[in-house]
Amino acid sequence: MRPAGFIKNTLILAVTLAAAIFFLAASDALSSVVLSPEDVLSIKTCTSARISPDGKWIAYTVSVPREPGDEPGGSYSELHVVSVKTEESRPFITGKVSVSSPMWSPDGRTIAFLTRRGEKAKTQVWTIAVDGGEATQVTHSKTGVSTFRWHPSGKSIAYVATSPQSKREKELEKKGYGFVFHEENLKHRNLYHIDIQKDDKAEAKQLTKDITIWSFEFSPDGRTIAAGASEKNLVDYRYMFQKIHLIDVESGNVRQLTNNPGKLGNFAFSPDGSKIAYAAALLKEDHAVSQAFVIPVGGGAAENLTPEKFRGHVNWAGWKDNKTVLYRSGEEVWSVLTTVRTDRKKRKVILHANDSKGKGVIFGYPHYSRDFRHFAFIGSTPNIPGDVFYWREGKDIKRLTKLNPWLDERKLGKQEPIWYTARDGTKIQGILIYPVDFKKGEKHPLIVHVHGGPESHFYNRWMDRYFDPAQVLAGKGYFVFAPNYRPSTGYGLDFVLPTLGDAAGVEFDDVVDGIEHLVDEGLVDPERVGLGGGSYGGFAAAWFASYYTRYVKAVCMFVGISDLISKRGTTDIPYEELFVHSGKLLEEMWEFSLKRSPLYYAHQSRTAVLITGGTNDTRVHPSQSLEFYTRLKMNNHPAVRLVQYPGEGHGNRKQPARIDLLHRHIQWYDWYVKDKKPLDGPMPPLDISEQYSIDIEEEEVSSDAP
């Protein structure tokens, strides 16, 4: 007979083991849950991160998606502050708010930010003390403030706002005479300066007129402002004709400093105020910012500090000290932070996403403390959508926030960069996401996602958004492939410039070669391939639905191009299109443009085509979608659907349109790619509102209804 103590201990051990088994089973069950569309639509992301001058605190904003049943609108944006030392985060302004652009005062005691409060309020600059208290409005612009900066003294703020309508213009509009004179009755984005130490009725001083200001920075002594400016308030002018100008704060005198031939990125004064570092294109034909330059404030030639034949794209520039420029670049699928001496031009990489210190974190533009010892970044990895990261030179990058802890409970497919060889021998890189629980030897369906731009590229980071939910598809058994086709950024100008004037040429051939590579590797079922993309990626979708129809069973074309001829006359960036894409006037390439348009080949389509986009898109006009739909329909295409989202522009901002687009294109892929439904059979159900997760009041039917 066993002693009582033995029996008691045995029972305790049994219970403990049972509990352990239960919790392990529960843990396994949780980690086996794949990512769902609802998960993607609820992900929070960090949208800005600014470190305090002393390096102790980071102010950051968090994008919080609206619930499916909320009032329609974009995501909310909250303000938080996290301690670098303790990693404790404090909410400052939260809830149904929209806060952006947090900026620390020079003494680090106050955070300024943009927001609007009230039903008809305009966006203004507000401030809040770091020690707590209520926020205070400091600007009272008649039109919304778009950007602002603290004066180095901390006593004033400069900001940009558009000229308001005159009283006469308002009266004419009220009486029905508010006509639009296309590109003629534009209002400039002006620069204003206001003393915030006076009472809240202090009037702002207008510093500029007859020129549009897009961005600006104060000199260290506060006497001069460097501004990115253009002749007209048009997005095309912001892209192609923006130059750095110097503005005297006291007199308002304006002097042009740079004569950069193409696109302009950010810029910054050196600590002593004698030079400006800036990121810009090398040539007018360069489709993206790509180089780091430095120019004397007093005038003179700009000096390029970028390595010759640089295999990457510089996209941000700043200063470490008076003799050392700091720049951030995209190099292949990684982000890189580099310093370079202005007198030696020797490059020193101080942080690389693909090394032991970078830990695979794709970091955004840096913000650093006054002593250049503390850095704040927005960071992302294949399993982190966007959190606050902190770094000290020589140390490992460190994650300070965990905005989506529940993601640890989701099972994700393996994600990795891959290389393959294009038909002309060029090496092409892309990101491949494997199906969850992939087993070697199995063939799976494939979805190819083509990025827009094409002045963009895929980094090895979190890939799921409302239109390209890679891990959701991986959880449903798909491979997902995201190619960095020519002319993607991140691979240098030699990779880009040969494609100028060659729309739908080698660039989409690179995509085909990637598909064939995956088929040859024995990973993909060639009879179950789909493709999607937005903007230029939507152009690819239309091209694969027509010219390359034999490669794909279904496409999802979002805000995409179908007619290169009419597109050039309906876009809001005709100069950008001319200089960095076509390279010639339309009159010199009518036939070429026709034969590189998906419309030209629509009659041969054997691909299921889902076309989506916003009704208010000025970048790729909605007529591009309508033209493609009509051409397919008139050729008796049995599987084409056009869905338009009221009020949306070049991309869906409001949650309802995001919800529908996400569910609808997954449905399209499942129907035609995964399940291989016949092209000439029924299309997927049109009404998918049961997937929206909202309460819909059913219509009551009268008992005496016929």
Phi-psi region of 676 (alpha: psi -120 to 50; beta: other; left: phi over 0): left
Q: pLDDT digit string (tens) for 525-546?
A: 999 999 999 999 999 999 999 9
What's the structural domain count of the chain?
1
How many CB atoms sit inside 10 A of residue 77's CB? Answer: 20
C-beta separation of 208 from 190 below 8 A: yes
- What tens digit of pLDDT does each residue of 149-167 get? 999 999 999 999 999 999 9
* Residue 19 pLDDT > 70: no
Q: Which residues of 11-30 are buried (b: 16+ CB within 10 A; e: fewer)?
A: eeeeeeeeeeeeeeeeeeee
State mean pLDDT over 57-80: 95
Residues 6+ apart with CB under 8 A from 367: 49, 50, 51, 375, 376, 377
CATH code of the domain covering residue 586: 3.40.50.1820
pLDDT greater at residue 642 or residue 17: 642
Nearby residues of 285 by Cβ (< 8 Å), 6 or more positions away = 262, 497, 500, 579, 580, 583
How far is the C-alpha of 476 from the C-alpha of 360, rounded, in Å?
A: 26
User: Which tokens belong to 455?
Assistant: 């002045």
CB 668 within 8 A of CB 683: no
- How far is it, in rounded angstroms, from Cα 460 to Cα 256? 39
Q: Are 286 and 580 in contact (CB under 8 A)?
A: yes
Name the band, by pLDDT with cuts 50, 70 and 90, for residue 199. Answer: low
Range with the poorest average pLDDT among 286-300, 488-502, 685-699: 685-699
Whether residue 390 contacts residue 403, with contact meaning beta carbons closer than 8 Å, is answered with no
- The whole-angstrom separation of Cα 641 and Cα 653 is 22
pLDDT of residue 559: 98
User: Which residues span the domain enclosing 479?
Assistant: 411-679
CA distance 169 to 187: 12
Q: Provide, rounded to the nearest whole percent, the portion of the chain with pLDDT above 70.
A: 94
In a domain, 669, yes or no: yes
Give the mean pLDDT of 194-202.
Answer: 80
- How many residues would you count in the chain? 706
Contacts of residue 307, defined as CB under 8 A and 6 or more positions apart, other chains included, come to 347
What's the mean pLDDT in 507-535?
98
User: Span 7-33, mean pLDDT?
Assistant: 46
How does pLDDT run across 35-50, given as a tens digit for each residue? 999 999 999 999 999 9
**Closest-CA residue to 131 (of 113, 108, 97):** 108
pLDDT at residue 119, as a whole number: 80
Instruction: State the virtual CA torsion across 693, 694, 700, 705 in degrees, nearest 10.
Output: -50
Is the pLDDT score of 516 beyond 80?
A: yes
CB 138 within 8 A of CB 200: yes
**DSSP letter string over 563-583?**
-HHHHHTT-S-HHHHIIIII-
C-alpha distances (whole Å) from 328 to each of 283, 347, 396, 487 are 20, 12, 17, 20
Q: Does some domain include residue 292?
A: no
Q: What is the pLDDT of residue 320?
A: 97
- Cα dihedral sign, 25-30-31-33: positive
Average pLDDT over residues 415-420: 98
Q: How confident is the model at residue 59 (pLDDT cuts 50, 70, 90)?
A: very high
Q: What is the CB neighbour count within 10 angstroms for residue 318?
A: 23
Interior angle at CA 164, CA 159 and CA 170, nearest 5: 165
Is 693 inside any structural domain?
Answer: no
Radius of gyration of the chain (CA): 27
Tokens of 99: 């806060």
* In-domain check, residue 302: no
What are 175's two structure tokens? 């009486």
- Among 15-24, 176-185, 244-253, 677-686, where is mean pLDDT lowest? 15-24
Distance between CA atoms of residues 578 and 584, nearest Å: 6
Q: Would you say residue 212 lies in a domain?
A: no
Average pLDDT over residues 637-659: 97
Q: Quick check: 143 pLDDT over 60? A: yes
Residue 13 has pLDDT above 70, yes or no: no
Say what percent of the chain tops pLDDT 90.
90
Structure-model confidence comparison of residues 378 and 20, the more confident one: 378
d(Cα 596, Cα 586) in Å, to the nearest integer? 13
The pLDDT assigned to 640 comes to 98
Where does residue 487 rank: exposed (0-12), middle (13-18), buried (19+ CB within 10 A)?
buried
Tokens describing residue 381: 């990895």
pLDDT at 198: 74
Q: Model confidence at 394, in pLDDT bands (50, 70, 90)?
A: confident
Residue 395 has pLDDT above 90, yes or no: yes
Strands (E), 84-232: 89-93, 100-104, 110-115, 124-129, 136-137, 145-150, 156-162, 189-195, 205-206, 212-218, 224-230
Please give the Cα distance from 609 to 479 (Å, whole number): 20
Best CA proximity match to 542, nearest among 634, 658, 450, 478: 450
- Give the tokens for residue 28: 């396994």
Mean pLDDT, residues 441-445 taken together: 95
Whether 204 is covered by a domain: the verdict is no
Check the CA dihedral 460-464-466-470 and report its sign. positive
- pLDDT, mean of residues 572-583: 97
| Domain presence at residue 522 | yes
Mean pLDDT of the chain: 93
CA distance to 124, 172, 178, 632, per residue, from 680 (Å): 55, 55, 50, 14
Give the residue-averaged pLDDT of 473-479. Answer: 98
Which pLDDT value is given to residue 693? Answer: 84
Question: Is residue 151 one of the residues assigned to a domain?
Answer: no
Measure the N-to-C terminal CA separation of the chain; round to a whole number of Å: 82
pLDDT of amino acid 704? 53
More confident residue, 695 or 7: 695
Q: Report how far residue 232's alpha carbon sits from residue 162's, in angstroms, rounded to the nearest whole number.
A: 12
Q: How far apart are CA 353 and CA 366, in angstroms?
A: 13
Q: What is the DSSP letter of 598?
A: G
Give me 540's structure tokens: 């690819």
Predicted confidence (pLDDT) at residue 14 exceeds the cutoff of 70: no
What pLDDT score was predicted for residue 639?
Answer: 98
DSSP 96-107: S-B-EEEEE-TT
Q: Is 517 helix (H, G, I), strand (E, B) or coil?
A: helix
**pLDDT beyond 50 at 217:** yes
Per-residue model confidence as pLDDT tens digits over 338-389: 999 998 778 999 999 999 999 999 999 999 999 999 999 999 999 999 999 9
Give the distance from CA 315 to its chain's centroid: 14
